[in-house]
Amino acid sequence: MALSSGERHGYGIMKQVEADTQGKVKMGNGTLYGSLKRMLDAGLVEESDKRIDPAMDDERRIYYRITSLGMKALAAELERYKRIVTLAQERNLYPKTFST
């Protein structure tokens, strides 16, 4: 999901995950690059052209982007989450703090 809004390098992905989870998930290098390798192998993401991030000024950074297969997998996963939330609401398992 961190790549759904555009290409990012590894550190940028880690920071996006941290922001998206409001600081609840902080990925380490091993977790990030292990996940990226599995997603690369599955065709969900691909390496983009190597380029300099002006804010970081490091030409060695490798950027990653989500593939069309990755977008389909993300859509399916979001639909699965949606069904789980609906089921939890139907069973009155949804926490009161999240109800609308």
Q: Are 35 and 64 in contact (CB under 8 A)?
A: no
Could you read off the pLDDT of 44-79 as tens digits, one per residue? 999 997 665 566 556 678 899 999 999 999 999 999
CATH number, domain containing residue 39: 1.10.10.10
Task: Please give the radius of gyration of the chain, using alpha carbons only, rounded to the nearest integer.
Answer: 16
Inside any domain, residue 42: yes
| Total number of domains constituting the chain | 1
C-alpha torsion angle, residues 10, 12, 14, 15 (rounded to 10): 170
Inside any domain, residue 3: no
Inside any domain, residue 1: no
pLDDT > 70 fraction of the chain, expressed in percent and rounded: 84
| Residue span of the structural domain in which 72 resides | 8-98
Inside any domain, residue 16: yes
d(CA 72, CA 86): 21
Give residue 98's pLDDT. Answer: 59
Determine the number of helices (DSSP H) and then strands (DSSP E) in the chain.
3, 3
Does pTM top 0.85 for this prediction? no
Inside any domain, residue 94: yes
